[in-house]
Amino acid sequence: MNSKLTISIAKALLLARWKQTLVAAVGVTFSITMFIALLSFMAGLNDLLDGLVLNRTAHIRLYNEIQVNKNQPVNKSPLYKDNYNFIKSVKPTNARLQIYNSGAIIRTLKKDTRVLGIAPKIMTPVFFNEIAINVAAVVNGIDVKNETKLFYFNDYLIEGASDDIEKISNSIILGKGLANQLSANVGDRVQVSNTNGEIFQLKVVGLYQTGIQELDKTQSYTSIATVQKLMGVPNTYITDIQLKLKKIPEAPAIAKEFTKLFEIDAIDIQTANAQFETGSFIRTLISYAVGVVLLVVAGFGIYNILNMMIYEKMDTIAILKATGFSGKDVQTIFLLIAISIGLIGGLVGLLLGFGLSAIIDQIPFKTASLPTIKTYPISYKLMFYLIGAVFSLITTFFAGWFPASKASKVDPVVIIRGK
């Protein structure tokens, strides 16, 4: 078929009534703009809410649980090997929170390609002494560099600099809630007593706020070395190894594997935060539902506009057919028209959608729980733009296809007579 001719006819029909073409294209543009902007905004909010928990939580945490020794002597004795031994009132002994051979474990993990990053940590309960009051809290000894990289520690810092806990000896970063209880500010000294009752003076070098009240009231951070000093333990002593994985869904399986491999307790994020998983799933479900509804509504809108446009051109179809253009030619011409509208309208829609998202991204949004968030969050996912582009082409294609194929099948006389 003579494609040059069909293209030139389609072009002429498009341009001759450019106002009508514009209205149709604007319909597509509007739908795609709304789809992109709304979905980007929803996904942005979702990511923000997910981040509240995800950013601060290890995908897998390796640690030692205080528990009863599974290998009781009686079971190991060859004498009672064939018996079924009942042991009552077994108590945990020797509560060893330390991870043995932590150096070797970290070396092994570093070689594992599924692991994104590793951050060792020590946790110990302490009392902060404020004149007559003892406030129970936890001191976390962290490796600042990795903690910042994997858990965005700096995002939650509202005062001071995280590096200071490693640069300044005997320094500490307090949670906002904890600092309020102790009425301590940056630069002040706080008194800490460890589980054995020994007292230390620490300098406050920063304050942080996660937005989760419970954490802000009970958590404080310092360097690993400072905690080791507080506890009076050697510098190989570590209680936790936190891992971030490349793929979160693999966490439960990998946690199980590490439990066996390192003979250690490992908890994955899905188990540790079951309620978060549910919330996140439901939020994602809602945004997908909204996305689908938007697309369906937009699809019908586009379909309607193009349908009307083609029915208005029935005369043209009759003339073309009477002068020797086949149904297939007519169909091609109108498909070209529909797809051009989809292409141009869709493209402008993507650009405007991006623009609208960028505007939303500038609207101030301040919340106490998220000190680093200043404006409404927007997710600039390429996926939304791809869906938008493909969708605008597919809907316009079908919106052109159905009326055009119907028109291509009728005898020209039916159209002429119908006048």
Partner 1 sequence: MSENILQAKNINKSFNDPIKVKVLTDINIAINKGEFVALTGKSGCGKSTLLYILSTMDTDYQGELLIDNVSMVHKRESELAKVRNEKIGFVFQFHYLLDEFTVLKNVMLPGLKLGKFSEKEVENCAIEKLKILDIDKLAMKKANQLSGGEKQRVAIARALINNPDIIMGDEPTGNLDKKNSDIVFDLFNKLSDELNQTLLIVTHDLSFADRMHRIIEMEDGKIILL
Residues in contact with partner 1 by CB under 8 A are 2, 5, 9, 12-13, 16-17, 315-316, 318-329, 409, 411-414, 416-417, 419
Residues paired with residue 134 on neighbouring β-strands, in sequence order: 129
The smaller minimum CB distance to partner 1, of residues 21 and 194, is found at 21
Cβ of 203: how many Cβ atoms within 10 Å? 16
Residue 12 CB, shortest distance to partner 1, in Å, is: 5
Residue 418 CB, shortest distance to partner 1, in Å, is: 12
d(Cα 380, Cα 47) in Å, to the nearest integer?
11
Residue 314 CB, shortest distance to partner 1, in Å, is: 12
d(Cα 415, Cα 408) in Å, to the nearest integer?
11
The smaller minimum CB distance to partner 1, of residues 17 and 107, is found at 17
The smaller minimum CB distance to partner 1, of residues 296 and 413, is found at 413
Residue 332 CB, shortest distance to partner 1, in Å, is: 12
The smaller minimum CB distance to partner 1, of residues 19 and 417, is found at 417
Residue 346 CB, shortest distance to partner 1, in Å, is: 24
The smaller minimum CB distance to partner 1, of residues 110 and 406, is found at 406
Residue 327 CB, shortest distance to partner 1, in Å, is: 5
Residue 400 CB, shortest distance to partner 1, in Å, is: 17
Residue appearing with tokens 């899905």: 270
HSE-CB for 261 with a 13 A CA cutoff: 14
Longest dimension (CA), the chain: 106
Amino acid sitting at position 339: I
CA angle 31/36/40 to nearest 5° reads: 150
The smaller minimum CB distance to partner 1, of residues 188 and 411, is found at 411
263 φψ region: left (φ > 0), alpha (ψ -120 to 50), beta (else): left
Residue 54 CB, shortest distance to partner 1, in Å, is: 57
Residue 331 CB, shortest distance to partner 1, in Å, is: 11
208's CB contacts (< 8 A; 6+ apart) are: 153, 156, 157, 158, 173, 174, 175, 176, 216, 221
Residue 399 CB, shortest distance to partner 1, in Å, is: 21
The answer to whether residues 40 and 383 touch, using CB atoms and an 8 Å cutoff, is no
The smaller minimum CB distance to partner 1, of residues 36 and 318, is found at 318
Nearest to 314 by CA among 298, 330, 303: 330
The smaller minimum CB distance to partner 1, of residues 299 and 412, is found at 412
The smaller minimum CB distance to partner 1, of residues 138 and 410, is found at 410
The smaller minimum CB distance to partner 1, of residues 127 and 401, is found at 401
d(Cα 21, Cα 14) in Å, to the nearest integer?
6
The smaller minimum CB distance to partner 1, of residues 274 and 414, is found at 414
d(Cα 225, Cα 161) in Å, to the nearest integer?
18
Task: Tell me the backbone φ, ψ of residue 234, rounded to 5 degrees.
Answer: -70, 165
Residue 16 CB, shortest distance to partner 1, in Å, is: 3
